[in-house]
Homo-oligomer: A and B are copies of this chain.
Amino acid sequence: MKKTIIVFSGDLDRAMAAFIIANGAAAMGDDVTMFFTFWGLNILRKPEKVKVKKGFLQAMFGWMMPRGAGKLGLSKMNFGGMGASMMKSVMKQKNVATLPELIATAKEQEIKMIACTMSMDVMGITEEEMIDGLEFAGVATYLGEADEANVNLFI
């Protein structure tokens, strides 16, 4: 059965939870759709700066928000990034997959990753700034997917 996850949050811990659930479901044979919106878009930004013409406020948002899965902080106890580093060190020790690895696995398992076009427009994030392999759509597409699914989460 299909599963959908709205990834609203751009925190490292919540992003990891989303991908662990999504990859787990895909491994068990489910179709999975992830819909990235608001801060969740940051998870899928390319790490390198991409030259794009933007309005002032959009440029500000783009500059202040983390660029990609390697730059995210924790939702709690981040302490300016130290918490996120600690968490990554522990995960390395424990041989837990990193977020970039989880994203790669999601692609391999053909999880559908949709970036919300309305949020992209508001936050001034363009398609060129996002990693490859995404679809771009709005809330109606999400709702169509959710109607076919038996588990729908908002993270």
Contacts and interface: CB of A to CB of B under 8 A. Distances in A.
How many identical chains are in the complex?
3
Interface residues of A, number: 52
A122 interface: yes
A90 B77 contact: no
A134 interface: no
Contacts of A122: 87, 90-91, 94, 96
Interface of A: 1, 6, 8, 10, 13-14, 17, 20-21, 24-25, 28, 30, 37-39, 55, 57-58, 60-61, 64-65, 75-77, 86-87, 89-91, 93-94, 96, 118, 121-124, 139-140, 142-143, 146-147, 149-155
